[in-house]
Amino acid sequence: MTPQVQAIDAALVAAHEHHDVRDTQAFGFWLYILSDLILFSSLFATFAVQMRSFAGGPTGKDLFDLRYVAVETLLLLLSSASYGVAMLALQEGRSARVIRWLGITFLLGLGFILMEVHEFYGLVVAGHGPNHSGFLSAYFTLVGTHGTHVTFGLIWMLAMMFQVGLKGLSKPVEGRLLRLSVFWHFLDIVWIGVFSVVYLLGVM
């Protein structure tokens, strides 16, 4: 083989390995998401068992305002869609646009989490904290775990906005943005279960 051919071969092998690494990273992250799904399953199962254990305290009908929850749901759904638009900008290689749409997604997610904190604060102040009944313990654990995930997603998103700004849309940055998108959409899917089981079943 001539040196040129060897160089081309090496480049092809490197490109292939690079590609393999990204696929493996994406699949590994997918497996983490699935294990997280098992974690949420255990919390959903706990909530389902405890959802009628009011201990003489308030029920979901007394505590939950469905219009409030509908607004929370809309914020999270909008943030899922806006992350999608950020991914389209990534596809086109327009980094300023990626940062802008990540920013919009971040604000929507922040709005969701602030509404949730406000709701939790109101419940605790009114004396309906997690120590009040089995129902409220399970409620705070399930909804709080989801909220914690969203909070970490927001921190991650902020970090990615800085990374895109500083490093541009390099391959590692692109891989991280892809994995964050899976994480973010996954959290919206878990929220479908939360509003259906916790809020809608709790109020009906």
Partner 1 sequence: MAEAHNTIAGEHHGSLLGYSIGFVLSAILTAIPFALVINGTAPRAVILLGIFAAAVVQILVHLHYFLHMDRSSSQRWNLMTFLFTFVVMVIFIGGSLWIMLDLHSRMMG
Residue 149 has φ and ψ, to the nearest 5°, of -60, -45
What minimum distance in Å lies between the beta carbon of 45 and partner 1? 4
3-state secondary structure 19-84: HHHHHHHHHHHHHHHHHHHHHHHHHHHHHHHHCCCCCCCCCHHHHCCHHHHHHHHHHHHHHHHHHH
The least distance separating partner 1 from the CB of residue 63, rounded to whole angstroms, comes to: 14
Total number of residues shown for the chain:
204
Smaller CB separation from partner 1, 112 or 195: 195
CB 112 within 8 A of CB 153: no
Point out which span in 74-82, 99-107, 121-129, 138-146 binds partner 1 (CB under 8 A): 74-82
Q: Report the SS3 class of residue 170.
A: coil
Q: How far is the CB of 90 from partner 1 (least distance, A)?
A: 7
Nearer to partner 1, 8 or 121 (CB): 8
Integer Cα distance of 75 and 81 in angstroms: 10
Give the binding-site size for partner 1 (rule: CB under 8 A).
49
Interface of this chain with partner 1, residues 124 to 143, rule: CB under 8 A? none
Binding-site ranges for partner 1 (CB under 8 A): 15, 19, 22-23, 26-27, 30-31, 34, 37-38, 41-42, 44-46, 48-49, 66-67, 69-70, 73-74, 77-78, 80-81, 84-85, 87-88, 90-91, 178, 181-182, 185-186, 188-189, 192-193, 195-196, 200-201, 203-204
